[in-house]
Amino acid sequence: MKCFCFALFLVLFIIELQRCDGSTTGGQGLKGRVQRDRRNIRPNIILILTDDQDVELGSMQVMNKTRKIMEQGGASFTNAFVSTPMCCPSRSSMLTGKYVHNHNTYTNNENCSSPSWQAQHEPRSFAVYLNNTGYRTAFFGKYLNEYNGSYIPPGWREWVGLIKNSRFYNYTVCRNGYKEKHGSDYAKDYFTDLITNDSINYFRISKRMYPHRPVMMVISHAAPHGPEDSAPQFSEHFPNASQHITPSYNYAPNMDKHWIMQYTGPMRPINMEFTNFLHRKRLQTLLSVDDSVEKVYEMLVETGELDNTYVIYTADHGYHIGQFGLVKGKSMPYDFDIRVPFFVRGPNIEPGSINPHMILNIDLAPTILDIAGLDTPPDMDGKSILKLLEPEKTENRFRSNRKPKVWRDTILVERGKFLRKKEESSNNNKQQSNNLPKYERVKELCQQAKYQTACEQPGQKWQCIEDTSGKLRIHKCKGSLKVSAKRKRTRSLRSRGYSSKEKECDCGKTDYKPARGERRNQRQLSQTNQRYKPRFVHTRPTRSLSVEFEGQVYDINLEEEAQPAYETRNISKRHYDLEVEEDLEEMLADDNAVGQPSSVKVTHKCYILANDTVHCEREIYQSSRAWRNHKSYIAQEIEALQDKIKNLREVRGHLKRRRPDECDCSKSYFNKEKAPRNKERKKSNHRLHPFKEAVQEVDGKVQNFNESRRKKKERKQKKRLKKGDDCSLPGLTCFTHDNDHWQTAPFWNLGSFCACTSANNNTYWCLRTINDTHNILFCEFATGFLEYFDMNNDPYQLTNAVHTVDREVLNELHLQLMELRSCRGHRQCNPRSRGLETGNKDGGSYDPHRGEQLWNGWEG
């Protein structure tokens, strides 16, 4: 027993000795590995975003470096879409993970970077969540179309955001709160190279100063968005590019599609030449983005962070160039506008893999949060795509009964806002009010307490009376009229113009009109206390000004629009130390010395004279520094006023939507004692039956809405006439192109032309479905038009096949579309995979057995 214990002790001692020797020889390597593992617990995230990059027109074919790094080195999603083909709404969805109907940014102007967006949705972007958990967040490039650079959005530690829309030269960025203007020098001002270099420098510095903290960067390029100015080394590339000529190119007119497609005819020869030229310049700008992706990749390799970094490459939406006769643009529900490139590479992602699942731009925010180890907030509509990127285990790959990954097969595509919402709501109210027969409506109305008493309530106008036959009838109250009028009269005389009715109408003091004797007494009192004043007061503008200088008097005529003439007359000589010419010039340069009463002070150093000429102090014209400072001051004032105007318009829109009940303040109670009786008698004559009050209220709202729309159209028409714009047409979105549009080679020299790309009624909601049996697009337009395309038979959406679809299928599609239009959160907005014939109750998909009324359909 003793021998066994001794042997066991000897074995343990030898093992401990070997462990100590191993720790001394390999301790340094083990320590470094532990530190590196601790540093790499959370990966870095880099999102590379382009503007208006298509997939259907072959833009990725020229980006060989990006395809090698992202496509061959990562996963490609062949069915990646956006929820709306517009810049600002799509980018807002990327930031928040929400559909358009949940973040309310409908167009590039409507709520784009507005105060309501900044208060409600911007504080809930994915950058805020990552910044709160220790990520070093940074943004470089284009943010939102209406971003004005007056603030740094929450969640970003490093901020280099482009002010307003995309540009390559002559732009302004907000760099960490300070506005930085750039010119037209390629070496230091080209936008693609600027944000690439800034992002690489930031990543290197962050890893040098904070090696244990992960980095999340967004590199948002302006390419290939207009004005399509390429780098000089790429200006001669792709002279014969023709990838944009697809089967739908110049396929027009399309009388089976919505209104703008019916209106658009075949392109003219100059339009077709322009599409070739435009496609070439777009591809040239993408070559700089291709170099940018390679530089970022090489930086990750040099810093040793490649294996611990997720890189995502995508675009905000697609583009069309000549498709269906539309010269250029986006905003259509077809695949060339809603399908985008989407590549992901990073840890545990199989290189060269192809993923056919449908993903959306609203999936970006949940995916980035999932990479950082955070849960998806319940208000985000998208889902993380990380589980789609996980490689299958070897033992599960060959199983015949393995379960497929559950994922959506239908997405919502929406564009614009419902312009006729108020009109339709009023029509619906009218229809609903006429559903019941008259006796049923009377019976329902008489159940209210205010109609059950016999005209005893103050201000009661109607009462319900049962006649001899047992039927309920509504009669007008007559006996309580005098009592109510007397009460209103005494109340009005006591309150001096303020009525204490239920609506509490505040008519102000402007309606008060004193009696004739009271006005006479006030006039006599004011005349006794007022001193004598001359009848004529010298208030007219000064016509001339006499200036004495060097013994001469110079008469300056202020009414002449030309150069003032100076007439002299002799007086006693006075001697000064300065020369006559210098002092005279100083007097003319300094408006304070001249003192013109008809000039308008614009800034503290510049005025607008009576002859509509601008004149500034002499310092502005002589000192380049003063000129530059004052010019910068004016630019800041203009931007501040633009921001104020935008905020005022936001408040004005809010006040229009929250208008109080109108009060009749045109008549006053103070003119005569019989005024209350006259007003009460007038109101009694205009009393309406309870059935007609609701209809009149709805008609009044519709009339106000139509009137506001008419006035808006008139203002736009006057603005167009004032500018001399012959291209813009009412209800259409048009553009003019001329020889001065592009500032870099190759140049356009075929002259100017006008083309229209979209319409104001191009508002729609669509279902895009891709599964094993279906590949369809179903759209409902705000005008009531329907479109249906089966991409298995018609991949380029050439023919609208809505008339070949059964009505039951259209009803089912409509109900599914209505559900997605009102969904909130990722649990409602991601229906499970299913066929069109059957449904289930999981994830908000349609169930045909729930007994809801089918949709009657719109006429297509």
Rounded CA separation 125/131 (Å): 10
With the CA atoms of 801, 806, 807 and 808 taken in that order, what torsion angle do they form, in degrees rounded to the nearest 10?
-130
Closest CA to 139 of 175, 110, 108, 171: 175
Rounded CA separation 191/196 (Å): 9
Query: 122: which 2 tokens?
Result: 């911007």
Whose structure tokens read 């910068």?
A: 632
What angle do the packed helices 690-723 and 438-445 form, to 10 degrees?
Answer: 100
CB under 8 A, 24+ apart: contacts of 244-248: 244/57, 244/58, 244/275, 244/276, 244/279, 244/321, 244/322, 245/322, 246/56, 246/57, 246/323, 246/336, 246/796, 247/796, 247/798, 248/323, 248/324, 248/336, 248/796, 248/797, 248/798
| Residue of 3, 5, 87, 112 marked catalytic | 87
Q: DSSP letter at 379?
A: T
Chain centroid, CA 329 distance in Å:
17
Report CA-CA distances (Å) from 152 to 138, 148, 167, 174, 410. 11, 10, 20, 8, 36
Pair 314, 342: CB distance under 8 Å: yes
Closest CA to 637 of 681, 604, 670: 604
Maximum Cα–Cα distance across the chain: 140
Q: DSSP letter at 640?
A: H
Q: Compute how many other C-beta atoms are within 10 angstroms of the C-beta atom of residue 379.
A: 15
CA-atom Rg of the chain in angstroms: 37
Query: 9: which 2 tokens?
Result: 């002790």
Closest CA to 97 of 338, 346, 388, 385: 385
Rounded CA separation 203/214 (Å): 10
Q: Rounded to the nearest 5°, which phi and psi values hold at 459?
A: 80, 10
665 is catalytic: no
Asked whether the bond before 746 is cis by omega within 30 degrees of 0, the reply is yes
From start to end of 266-361, where are the E strands?
A: 309-315, 342-345, 353-359
Rounded CA separation 50/60 (Å): 12
Query: 821: which 2 tokens?
Result: 């239009």
Q: Rounded to the nearest 5°, which phi and psi values hold at 288?
A: -70, -35
Contacts of 376 (CB under 8 A, 6+ apart): 97, 366, 369, 370, 382, 383, 384, 826
| Alpha helices (H) along 788-833 | 807-821
What angle do the packed helices 675-685 and 481-495 form, to 10 degrees?
Answer: 130
Whose structure tokens read 């517009």?
A: 86
The residues annotated with a catalytic role in the active site are 87
